[in-house]
Amino acid sequence: MTSGPLTGVKVLEFSQIIAGPFCGMHLADMGAQVTKFEPLEGEPWRVFVELVPKESRTFASLNRGKRGVAMDMTRPEAQAVIHRLVRDADVVVINYRPGVAEQLRIDYGTLSGINPRLIYCENTAFGRYGPLAHRGGYDLVVQAMTGLMAGEAKMQGDVPTYIYPAVADYATGIQMANAICAALFYRERTGKGQRIDCTLMGTAIAMQTSQFTWIRAFDEQVIPPMLEELGRARAEMRSFTEQVAVHNKYRPAAVGNIYYRVYQTKDGFIAVGALSQSLRLKVLAATGLRDPRFREDGSFEVNPPGWEVEGPKLVREAEALFRTRTTEEWAEVLERHGVPAGPLYFIEELFDHPQTLANGLQVELEHPLLGPYKMVGPPFQMSEAPLAAQGPSPMLGEHTDEVLAEAGLTPEEVERLRAAGVVR
Which residues are marked as active site?
A: 169
Question: How far, in Å, CA of 323 to CA of 387, rounded?
Answer: 43
Q: How many Cβ atoms sit within 10 Å of the Cβ of residue 221?
A: 10
Comparing C-alpha atoms, which of 54, 58, 34, 36 is closest to residue 45? Answer: 58
Question: How far, in Å, CA of 2 to CA of 23, rounded?
Answer: 17
Question: How far, in Å, CA of 86 to CA of 71, rounded?
Answer: 16
Q: How many Cβ atoms sit within 10 Å of the Cβ of residue 393?
A: 26
User: With the C-alpha atoms ordered 311, 312, 318, 321, is the resulting torsion angle positive or negative?
Assistant: negative
Q: Is 234 left (phi over 0), alpha (psi -120 to 50) or beta?
A: alpha
Comparing C-alpha atoms, which of 261, 274, 260, 263 is closest to residue 327? Answer: 263
Q: H-helix or E-strand containing 342? A: strand 341-343
CB-based contact 407:85 (threshold 8 Å) = yes
Q: Which residues pair with 159 in a beta bridge?
A: 156
Comparing C-alpha atoms, which of 252, 283, 256, 289 is closest to residue 270? Answer: 283
Comparing C-alpha atoms, which of 388, 368, 371 is closest to residue 380? Answer: 388
